[in-house]
Amino acid sequence: MEVPRLVAEECLYDGNYLHLHLKQAETPAGEKVNWEMISRPPHGWNLSGTDLIATLKRQGEEYLLLVLEHRYPIRGYVVSFPGGIDEEGDGTKGALRELKEETGYTALPQDVVAVGPLVYVDPWKSNEKSKFVQVNVREDLPENQNPTQNLDPLEVIEALLVKKHCLLEELNKISQERNCGIDSRLYAFAMGIYLGQMAQEARP
C-alpha cells in the first residue's frame, strides 16, 4: 500500500510538555495535504509513558488502585489508571515512582507481574506511547500503612480503591456520583473484564 510522501514539516509551537507540528504530505495522485500532530519533548520518539494496573487484596476482595484526577483540557475530573512519563526508560522504575507519587502506595520491583509492549495512545494526532505495567501492591508493607501522595503543584489527584470483579459497574457509578469522565483505556479494560465474565457464564 503506497502512503503519502512527507514533503515539508514545521514546528508551530514548542512548549515544555508538547510540540505542535504541521506536516505537509503529497499523495500518490500528487495532491498536497496538511496534517497536524503533537509530539512529546525533549526526547520525541524515544519518550514513552507508563500506565499501572495495580491490584491490592483486602479481606479476600481484589481491588484496583485508580486515580481521580483533574484534567485541565476538559475542565473536569477523569478516573484512570495511575501513570505518567517514564523518565527512567525501562517501564518498571517509572511505573513504581508514579504509583507512589499519585496514590501514596509503594510497590517493590519484585511485585511487578508483567510489563507490556509499547502501545500508542492516540496515533491519529500524536506519537505518544505507553507501556502497561501490572503490579501487585502489598498492604502489609510498613510504607503502605499510611499512604501519602507526593504530587506536583498543579496535580489534583485522589486515589481510589475499586472492586475489580465489578469494575464496569463501579466506574459507571463513580462517573455519575462524582460527575467525572472515564479514561478510554480504563473503560476498555473494564469492558474486557465484563465480556470475559459474560462468556464464562454463557458456557454450558
Question: For 1-26, how does the pLDDT look when each residue is reduced to its tens digit (9 = 90+)?
Answer: 788 889 999 999 998 888 999 999 99
User: What grid cell was written down for 88?
Assistant: 527512567
Residue 107 scores a pLDDT above 60: yes
Residue 28 scores a pLDDT above 90: no
Residue 190 confidence class, pLDDT cut points 50, 70, 90: very high
C-beta separation of 167 from 64 below 8 A: yes
187: left (phi over 0), alpha (psi -120 to 50) or beta: alpha
In this prediction, residue 43 carries a pLDDT of 56
In this prediction, residue 88 carries a pLDDT of 67
From residue 167, how far is each of 47, 59, 188, 190 by CA, in Å? 30, 18, 11, 6
Residue 45 scores a pLDDT above 80: no
**CB-based contacts of 197, cutoff 8 Å, min separation 6:** 165
H-type alpha helices, 28-86: none
Mean of the per-residue pLDDT values of the chain: 92
List, for residues 129-153, the tens digit of each pLDDT value.
899 999 999 999 999 999 999 999 9
3-state secondary structure 86-123: CCCCCCHHHHHHHHHHHHCCCCCHHHEEEECCCEECCC
From residue 122, how far is each of 21, 37, 128 by CA, in Å? 15, 10, 7
3-state secondary structure of 196: helix
Task: Calculate what percentage of the chain has a pLDDT beyond 70.
Answer: 95
In this prediction, residue 3 carries a pLDDT of 83
